Amino acid sequence: MPMRRESNRERKEQFQTFSRPKVKIARTSKSGKTYIDYKDTESLRKMISGNGKILSRKRTGASAMEQRMIARAVKRARYMALLPYVTAAS
Q: What is the pLDDT of residue 29?
A: 61
Give residue 4's pLDDT.
64
pTM of the entire structure?
0.68
Cβ atoms of 55 and 49 closer than 8 Å: yes
Is the Cβ–Cβ distance between 22 and 46 less than 8 Å? no
Architecture of the domain delimited by 22-90? Irregular (4.10)
Q: What is the pLDDT of residue 53?
A: 92
Mean pLDDT to the nearest integer, 14-24:
58
- By three-state DSSP, how is residue 48 classified? strand
| Domain ranges (residues) in the chain | 22-90
